[in-house]
């Protein structure tokens, strides 16, 4: 018979099993593998062998620490010997870029007038060249605020005069305790008559008395109530004067 093909037994190059090559492609060609799986394994093996060629060894000098090191073809442009040296190289590169950006930014100190280069994180905020100049500017600002407060409240200036300081020490030495409750803690000096500017400026011993902090607050605190159709004022200052209450009347 023409269609009869003689068996052709061949050993597979992968699994080493015998198979009839005449049953594949009618016996034509070179049959090396028993099936598609063995053929795929052979192709993968050849591809793996091509990829695993020995890589050439490259000798380098570390650009950071200066020590010799060896790299392979997969890292042909390696400049450092370790991750730590590479981080140091990148940080130096970033600092250099920042320094180049700030090289043209020059400011003048508001205190001493010296020209300086501000910190890269405080370009819009830094006004002074050193902590000493910054401290001097802060003191000047505090003094200006104090002057502004005195201009808004002229009565506060009289408490800084030498006359008032001497009168205050003299009255505290005389009374030594609160004239209302007898406490000797947190003593203040109170002007008995302080309705006008002249009376507030009178620092004589007869117009001054010692009060504790609590009694001094109550002296300047008044209460207003209405009893039997009449307005009545209560306060600690009236108790000091042995007055129970003060009735307010209408005067035409």
**In a domain? residue 155:** no
**In a domain? residue 157:** no
**Residues 34-90: tens digit of each pLDDT:** 888 888 888 888 887 777 666 667 888 999 999 999 887 778 888 999 999 999 999
- pLDDT, averaged across the chain: 78
**In a domain? residue 4:** no
Phi-psi region of 16 (alpha: psi -120 to 50; beta: other; left: phi over 0): left
d(CA 231, CA 228): 8
Are the C-beta atoms of residues 116 and 102 closer than 8 Å to each other?
no
The DSSP code for 26 is G
Same domain, 91 and 139: no
Same domain, 208 and 170: yes
**In a domain? residue 3:** no
Are the C-beta atoms of residues 219 and 240 closer than 8 Å to each other?
yes
Which of 75, 43, 44 minimizes the C-alpha distance to 58? 75
CA-CA-CA-CA dihedral for 106, 108, 109, 113, to nearest 10: 140
Which pairs from 239-242 meet CB under 8 Å and 24+ separation? 239/180, 240/179, 240/180
- Listed residues 150, 184, 206: the one ending a domain: 150
Q: What total of structural domains would you count in the chain? A: 5
**In a domain? residue 141:** yes
Which of 72, 76, 77, 75 minimizes the C-alpha distance to 57? 72
pTM: 0.34
Give residue 134's domain range. 107-150
**In a domain? residue 127:** yes
Are the C-beta atoms of residues 228 and 220 closer than 8 Å to each other?
no
Same domain, 167 and 212: yes
Q: Position of tokens 């250099």?
A: 96
**Residues 100-151: tens digit of each pLDDT:** 665 577 889 988 989 988 887 787 888 899 999 999 999 888 888 877 765 5
Are the C-beta atoms of residues 198 and 205 closer than 8 Å to each other?
no
């Amino acid at each position: 018979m023409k269609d009869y093909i003689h068996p052709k037994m061949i050993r597979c190059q992968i699994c080493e099993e015998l198979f009839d090559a005449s049953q594949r492609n009618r016996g034509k060609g070179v049959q090396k593998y028993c099936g598609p799986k063995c053929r795929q394994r052979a192709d993968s093996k050849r591809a793996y062998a091509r990829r695993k060629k020995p890589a050439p060894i490259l000798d380098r000098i570390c650009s950071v620490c200066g020590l010799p090191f060896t790299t392979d073809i997969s890292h042909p442009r390696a400049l450092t010997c370790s991750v730590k040296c590479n981080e140091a190289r990148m940080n130096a590169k970033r600092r250099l870029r920042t320094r180049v950006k700030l090289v043209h930014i020059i400011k003048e100190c508001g205190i001493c007038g010296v020209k300086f280069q501000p910190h890269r994180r405080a370009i819009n905020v830094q006004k002074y060249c050193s902590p000493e100049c910054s401290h001097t500017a802060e003191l000047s600002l505090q003094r200006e605020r104090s002057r502004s407060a005195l201009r808004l409240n002229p009565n506060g200036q009289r408490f800084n005069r030498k006359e008032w300081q001497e009168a205050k020490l003299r009255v505290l030495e005389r009374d030594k305790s609160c004239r209302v409750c007898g406490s000797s803690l947190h003593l203040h000096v109170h002007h008995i008559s302080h309705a006008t500017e002249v009376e507030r400026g009178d620092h004589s011993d007869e117009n001054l008395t010692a009060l504790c902090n609590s009694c001094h607050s109550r002296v300047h605190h008044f209460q207003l109530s209405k009893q039997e159709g009449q307005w009545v004022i209560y306060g600690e200052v009236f108790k000091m004067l042995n007055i129970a209450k003060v009735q307010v009347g209408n005067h035409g």
